[in-house]
Structure 1
Amino acid sequence: MVREDLYISVPSLFRCPISLDVMKSPVSLCTGVTYDRSSIQRWLDNGNNTCPATMQVLHTKEFVPNRTLQSLIQIWSDSQSLLSKDQVLLALSQLHTPTHNPFDSLAKIARFAQDSQENRDFLLRTDCFLPLLLGFLDNLNGGLQFLQQVVTALDLVTSKMEPTHSFQNFILKRQTVDSLLLLLRQGSHDSKMASARVLKSLALDVDSKLLIAETEGVVSELLNLMAPEKDPDVTENCLSCLVAISTPRRSKMKLVREGAVKALSKLLSGGSLSVSATEKALKLVETVSSTKEGRSAICEDSACVAAMVNKVLKVSSVATEHAVTTLWSVCYLFRDQKAQDAVTTANGLTKILLLMQSNCSPQVRQMSADLLKIFRVNSKSCLSSYDTNTTHIMPF
């Protein structure tokens, strides 16, 4: 039994599905699921004839010792060095001790935080932890590798916490953002994602969003990292950060000036985005379309308009709503002829008709009806006589 003041990450494979403790004598049922012998024996002795994990009926109640897993558990157990609360506090104190290498202490703490949520909760309850980490984040003297460890540990412990304004005020300084920008540019794959997540967690109000967006290089680097050929995980984290900071008008203008529409157009046209990444990309296009400059950039980029048309009804209801809202804004509300032509060229009329007869939201249905009015007036095809109250799709 591990003492309450000791924290250690146990691989899930080593835990018994019944007791959740590390298995001492792992045995496998005919279903292939492995349990600790004492736990599964009690289950069977109580008259059960199913596998507890899968609830499959057991054809036989015999079990076979899992020697391979037992050997792995033994090797793991022999290699573990339990870290107590006092040892964690000692490692934290050593971060400021000149005679100790702070990188080694921080690396140990980062691994400790990575092991389990229980470990991260313990660190968050330790008053000195966040101030120490944030102080290091403002200090580039430790070098890039050390900074990566700082941000990794910070991301691990704050990923599950609700950011507070006191936390934000402590960390959100220009020098802090500069440190995170350095990692976006030069850091490892993981530290790039961690930096984007930390920046997102800091974007709590208008001032913080503007500070991040207007720090020279942040927006351009986030856009650069979400190119189609880049790593999809990095792309999605950068998109999340951009969505978080994009709500103030000045942030939207910054995005437009930095070429966000062109970057998003390439991303949406690439065809390899996940559903959530596509939703975020379309959300950003919708956000910048609320400015005159953003609408102009969208209307000048026929590929962007075509990409939005292509995503309608193909990704998710959320993606469809973002795409239709933007198309409604540029084509109906502001009557841009270039955008209207691009929608027609991309076979958008068919999409609008299909959308109107789908199970879409009332708002999307109304915007689709508005768009159809525009194209009924402008179209030279048989659509000009189409009655929007009908319940079928006219052939083309």
Structure 2
Amino acid sequence: MGEGSSQSLVQKLIEGVNSITSIGEFKNYKKECAAVTRRVKLLLSLFEEVRDSKLPLPDPAFNCFKALEVALYAAKDLLILCHKGSKLYLTLERPKVLNHFQALAVEIVKALDGAPYNDLDVSDEVREQVELVHNQFKRLKGLEEAHDAQLHAELTTVLDETTERLISRAELEKLAEKFELTTAKAIKQETQALEWMKIETDPLIDGILDNEKGFEQMHTLLRNMKTLCPADNLEVDIPDLKKIQASEAAFLDKLRAHHPSEPSVSGGTDKGGSPNIPDDFKCPISLDLMKDPVIVATGQTYERAFIQKWLDAGNRTCPKTGLILAHTNLTPNYVLRSVIAEWCETQGIEVPKKSSGRPKSSNSTDFCCSEDRANIEDLISKLASGQTEVQRNAAGEVRLLAKRNIEHRIYIAEAGAIPLLVKLLWSLDPKTQEHAVTALLNLSINDNNKGQIVSAGAIHPIVEVLRTGSREARENAAATLFSLSVVDENKVTIGNCGAIPALVDLLRDGTPRGKKDAATALFNLSIYQGNKSRAVRAGIVPPLIELLGDSNAGMVDEALAILAILATHPEGRTAIGQANATPMLIEIITSGSPRNKENGAAVLLALCTFDPAHIVIAQLLDAFGPLSELVQDGTTRAKRKAAQLLDLMRRQEAEKAEQSIIEDQSPGFSTDAGGHSALCI
């Protein structure tokens, strides 16, 4: 073999080993991954000595190294899968994963069998080291990590047992703890890992990633695990799972305790003095006979008054199953109501009449203990005291009380704290201002409180805090505006109050956390068409382009998502085009994540559709290849956008060719030898 090809192959092997050893921690199969990484690293000295000798490789050595190159690429793909992939799915597919580790060992052993050491100018020490690696891979019989094997057994057992029923809350809790998925952040990361695996197409791991049913099961499992965490949590520190469970259980207990059974069931009783009510006729929350049964999204039936109270408290799960509700509509269960009425008549009991739709007292005082109520009321009086230090301390305590507790959020708002907190947003004391805006952020987690905050005139002073407050106050002001903008009509109000320029300033000059808070709020606000031009005129595009080109900032996803929204507006397209974004977009389409490729193609399509100059730039930058690959391997939306871009490029080429033919065939003027014009045909 030639020296150039030999050196190129050896360099690839060195780079392969270095990339494997730099992968980092592994989520699954830690023992197997560590063994492969350690043994592959021992081969590095062989490749480095061969490289330093600068001699061309004889054919036997070249073939051996070529086989090792294939094996190292296979090892890298498998190790990256264990590093980035879903813990749940990889545990489910344990037999296949272990088979791949075994097959990898066989491949390396074959490559090293009969390695031509005599043809290689390497030291005895290196030869002994390589032979050691060779023997270690030969002895690999399929490592069995007891912990991983136990997780696989528990996961498959639960899935097998729940094929005909819903997984129980207890089973969910156990699996969540086993897989360390006890926070919303961990579940989000696991979901992203699962999505990454679904688009992985490397031939080596296709055998592992071809279980469509398994992917669906893991997605369902993660959605159900998410119900164990607050669905609307906006705080940086996500509550511990056990605290969440205790809080939720306590809420249900209080709901029952403060609404005891009404003495409507009388007459026709058994020896105990009252009839035995069938379980199906009882509300799972109040445990009483239902007057107005309604069905929630999971198919469970509750007494309307009690499930409504549960929803009003900001909960978005089914109390009985713990599953997330796809919607909060309540459907009357007329059939069950009719059956209950018939049962009551046979028992000689007065048929229960429908209530007004809520428990007799819809006040959250029913759910806060007297001590908590007294504390909150005292703090609210201090908020109104007019003494800076007293107000500062009171606002800080309200901020903490509203941080996680559902009942506190409700009672603090009902007790009149919101207008006082809004007033404190104008405080000249920076810490008071910070406490006030953060307390409003925490209160806004409850949907019912959002309207009260806006009605109290909070948006304008929140914007002022965003402009002039302390670093943390500005960040939390941005987060509060995002929370409030979830309600569509608030998007208009927030935009009209001048929030967007202040958010753009934070996006440009803020801390990493501040930039993320600003980007999240700007994304939400820009969904409203009228806010898109405001964002463009406020100068949002340059900092977005800067973030797009700075992978270290970790905000490429956010920047591209906002650009995709702005590109649907004429001013947005113009600003993005003037920022010379096309080269970056093509780079993202070439090597970005699946979602970013999708958004990159959407932005580029918007630019090219309305300005053919961008088509020319894309053609000059060889966009045809990456777009063709995206048509084959992208998400559904990405494929559609890429196909439309390719169509635009082909049409432009066809028009150019047609114009060229017309120009060649059309009459023109030339000059004769004397410099006189002559018509040419």
TM-score class, shorter-chain normalisation, is 0.5 to 0.7
Aligned partners of 2:409, 2:422: CA distance in 1, in Å? 17
Counterpart mapping for 1:22-61 below 5 A: none
Match of 2:382 among 74, 94, 105: 94
2:587 corresponding residue in structure 1: 310
> How many residues matched?
287
Aligned partners of 2:629, 2:586: CA distance in 1, in Å? 12
For the structure 1 residues 187 and 127, does the alpha-carbon distance in structure 2 shift closer, same or farther, using more than 3 Å as the test? closer
Deviation at 1:195, TM superposition (A): 0.6
Counterpart mapping for 1:132-281 below 5 A: 132-139=417-424, 140-141=426-427, 143-159=429-445, 161-162=446-447, 166-167=451-452, 169-171=454-456, 173=457, 176-205=458-487, 207-216=489-498, 218-227=499-508, 230-274=510-554, 277-281=555-559
Aligned partners of 1:168, 1:113: CA distance in 2, in Å? 14
For the structure 1 residues 102 and 220, does the alpha-carbon distance in structure 2 shift closer, same or farther, using more than 3 Å as the test? same
For the structure 1 residues 94 and 283, does the alpha-carbon distance in structure 2 shift closer, same or farther, using more than 3 Å as the test? same
Aligned partners of 2:393, 2:625: CA distance in 1, in Å? 61
Percent identity of equivalent pairs:
17
For the structure 1 residues 130 and 337, does the alpha-carbon distance in structure 2 shift closer, same or farther, using more than 3 Å as the test? farther
Q: Which amino acid letter does the alignment assign opposite residue 265 of structure 1?
A: I
Deviation at 1:273, TM superposition (A): 3.8
Aligned partners of 2:178, 2:492: CA distance in 1, in Å? 51
For the structure 1 residues 188 and 84, does the alpha-carbon distance in structure 2 shift closer, same or farther, using more than 3 Å as the test? farther
The Cα offsets for residues 29-86 of structure 1, whole Å up to 9 and x where unpaired, read as xx9xxxxxxxxxxxxxxxxxxxxx769xxxxxxxxxxxxxxxxxxxxxxxxxxx9513
- Unmatched tracts of structure 1, length 5 or more: 1-30, 32-52, 56-82, 381-396
Contact 2:398 2:439 (8 Å CA) reproduced: yes
Secondary structure, aligned partner of 1:372: helix
Query: What TM-score results when the alignment is normalised by the length of structure 1?
Result: 0.64
Contact 1:91 1:105 (8 Å CA) reproduced: yes
Aligned partners of 2:386, 2:502: CA distance in 1, in Å? 35
Contact 2:627 2:642 (8 Å CA) reproduced: yes
1:122 corresponding residue in structure 2: 407
Secondary structure, aligned partner of 2:633: coil
Contact 2:564 2:599 (8 Å CA) reproduced: yes
Match of 2:643 among 369, 374, 384: 369
Provide the alpha-carbon RMSD of the alignment: 3.1
Contact 2:383 2:395 (8 Å CA) reproduced: yes
Aligned partners of 1:129, 1:310: CA distance in 2, in Å? 53
Aligned partners of 1:102, 1:192: CA distance in 2, in Å? 20
Deviation at 1:189, TM superposition (A): 3.0
Contact 1:103 1:146 (8 Å CA) reproduced: yes
2:562 corresponding residue in structure 1: 284
Deviation at 1:136, TM superposition (A): 2.9
Secondary structure, aligned partner of 1:375: helix
For the structure 1 residues 292 and 125, does the alpha-carbon distance in structure 2 shift closer, same or farther, using more than 3 Å as the test? closer
Determine which structure has more spread, i.e. the larger CA radius of gyration. 2
Deviation at 1:125, TM superposition (A): 2.8
- Choose between structure 1 and 2 for higher RCO, CA contacts under 8 A separated by at least 6 residues: 1
Deviation at 1:102, TM superposition (A): 1.5
1:66 corresponding residue in structure 2: none
Residues 136-145 or 262-271, more deviating: 136-145
For the structure 1 residues 134 and 270, does the alpha-carbon distance in structure 2 shift closer, same or farther, using more than 3 Å as the test? farther
Contact 2:430 2:470 (8 Å CA) reproduced: no
- Unmatched tracts of structure 2, length 5 or more: 1-146, 148-176, 180-369, 655-681
